[in-house]
Amino acid sequence: MRIEAELKAQLRDPDHVAEVLNRQAMSATSVYRDTYYDSSDHSLTAAGRELRVRTVTSDEGRRVLLTHKSPMVDEASHSKPEDETEVADAEATDAILKSLGYHPYISFEKHCINWQFQAKGRAMLATMVTVPELDGTFLEIETIVDSLDQLPAALEAVKLQMYDLGISDNDLSTMDYTDAVTEHRGHHQNTST
């Protein structure tokens, strides 16, 4: 079982955090175009599952990833088991998912800066995220574990890495981008009608 041990924080000083991370690793900038799918009865979302097609555009080109996330296994961090694979064609993947009864229910962009590095004895990925529709800049730090018993130690390592970047427990967030974008669009629709 592949589990993404991840913590997210809303940043008070993104420039400082980027400066510290740039001393640890080379940065890579990319844009993620995420489309989430569900059945007509929303059974995936209701069960805490996610089915996503992500198109990543960067200086290296374009990659498409198909991801399924199982329900969260840690309430405090919202960490979830996930399976992910690269696919060749986003449009063909969309057609396959639709033919299986899954339809897009939300799409949005994330503008990301990624740093991959070793810290606290673990391979880590730090991603600074802005979503054009949302206020603020977020930082996600993740490391991958293979079993639930490894999760607490991995999350502790990620938390210590957050502390090294000047991020406190008060900055941590379990905000879900899909929920926040949905709420923003609903609010924007209500105020513009």
- CA–CA separation, 85 vs 64, rounded Å? 9
**pLDDT tens sequence for the chain (193 residues):** 899 999 999 999 999 999 999 999 999 999 999 999 999 999 999 999 999 999 999 999 999 999 999 999 998 899 999 999 999 999 999 999 999 999 999 999 999 999 999 999 999 999 999 999 999 999 999 999 999 999 999 999 999 999 999 999 999 999 999 999 999 998 766 665 5
- CA–CA separation, 105 vs 43, rounded Å? 12
CA 182, 184, 190, 192 torsion: positive or negative?
Answer: negative
Q: Spell out the domain ranges in the chain.
A: 3-192
CA 157, 114, 6, 185 torsion: positive or negative?
Answer: positive
- CA–CA separation, 186 vs 108, rounded Å? 14
Domain 3-192 has CATH 2.40.320.10: yes
Amino acid at residue number 118: Q
Contact between 79 and 4 under an 8 Å Cβ cutoff? The reply is yes
pTM, entire model: 0.91
User: How many other C-beta atoms are found inside a 10 Å radius of the C-beta of residue 115?
Assistant: 19
